[in-house]
């Protein structure tokens, strides 16, 4: 049995909004028992995603500079995540999403390279790279 596309889109939108609502109300840096990054716990190094939840919380509270300070990569890539989410919202509301944008393979490899470079740079204990750590 195949799910109805609008219903499936509506469930995805609801799930994202529920998580966003929770994140808006609760600061991840202040939640007792909150699961922290396992990579950081094991190595003491920051992964590319470290600081993302705190950055999103800060962004939702209008603290744009703080959000960039917590994870500049996430904030830079946010518009690329927002487009498919907006398409899903439109699919749920009107039955038709936005036009799909397919990136060339070179763009995907560039993104992978950028993530790896960010990962390395944010762990260098030398200024100015220390500002990339959350």
Instruction: Encode pLDDT of 55-99 as tens digits.
Output: 999 999 999 999 999 999 999 999 988 988 888 888 888 888 888
Q: How far apart are CA 35 and CA 87, in angstroms?
A: 31
Q: Which residues, in sequence order, are CB contacts of 16 under 8 Å at separation 6+?
A: 85
The distance of Cα 100 from the centroid of its chain, to the nearest Å, equals 20
Q: pTM for the whole thing?
A: 0.84
The residue extents of the domains of the chain are 5-132
Q: Are 45 and 37 in contact (CB under 8 A)?
A: no
- The alpha carbon torsion through 27, 48, 35, 54 (nearest 10 deg) reads 0
């Amino acid at each position: 049995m195949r799910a109805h596309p609008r219903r499936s889109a509506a469930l995805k939108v609801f799930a994202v909004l529920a998580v966003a609502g929770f994140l808006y109300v609760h600061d991840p840096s202040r939640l007792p028992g909150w699961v922290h990054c396992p990579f950081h716990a094991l190595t003491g190094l920051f992964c590319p995603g470290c600081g993302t939840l705190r950055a999103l919380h800060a962004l939702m509270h209008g603290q744009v500079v703080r959000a960039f300070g917590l994870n500049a990569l996430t904030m830079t890539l946010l518009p690329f995540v927002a487009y498919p989410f907006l398409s899903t919202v439109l699919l749920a509301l009107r039955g038709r999403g936005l036009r799909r944008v397919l990136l060339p393979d070179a763009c995907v490899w560039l993104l992978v390279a950028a993530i790896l470079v960010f990962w390395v740079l944010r762990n260098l204990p030398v200024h100015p790279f220390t500002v990339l750590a959350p």
